[in-house]
Amino acid sequence: MANDRSPLKPNDEVYIRSMKTLGRVLRPLPGSTDEPEQQRFYEIQVTKYFLRSDLELDDTGAVHKKRQADLQEKTARLELARRKVEDALAAGENVKPSTVIEFVIASTDLCQELRY
């Protein structure tokens, strides 16, 4: 099928030149079905084989939950430090250096988590 440019059908096996690999046609891209065959896009399933050492489970849900928990914890820590500074100022007292340092560290940690 080197020069055959007939429409591809589902389950046709094709050689993908740009990837130098074989694939199987799943379907034409819905938006391109009215295009001429040469300009039509197809969804292709490619099977590749990898060593187990090259693979890891995709656990994006757990990573997202952990990041949300870290954000909540760091936000709460910053809020507590902010309240301590505000309470000292409202009482007319000098703010202790340790309280200011805690506020700065908490705000820096949260900014780093938010990638600022």
Taking only the tens place, the pLDDT of each residue in 16-44 is: 888 888 899 999 888 777 777 778 888 99
Tokens of 45: 């399933």
* Mean pLDDT to the nearest integer, 87-100: 93
Residue 96 neighbours by CB under 8 Å, 6+ apart: 88
Distance set, CA 85 to CA 23, 52, 55, 105 (Å):
63, 53, 48, 13
Please state which of the ranges 12-16, 69-73, 112-116 shows the lowest mean pLDDT.
112-116
**pLDDT of the residue at 49:** 83
pLDDT number for residue 79: 97
User: What pLDDT is stored for residue 58 in this prediction?
Assistant: 78
pTM recorded for the entire structure: 0.50
Residue 1 in this model has a pLDDT that exceeds 70? no
> What separation in angstroms does the CA of 103 have from each of 6, 25, 43, 80, 94?
68, 58, 53, 8, 15
* Mean pLDDT on 66-85: 95
CA distance to 67, 78, 89, 116, per residue, from 63 (Å): 6, 22, 39, 20
Report the percentage of the chain scoring pLDDT > 70.
97
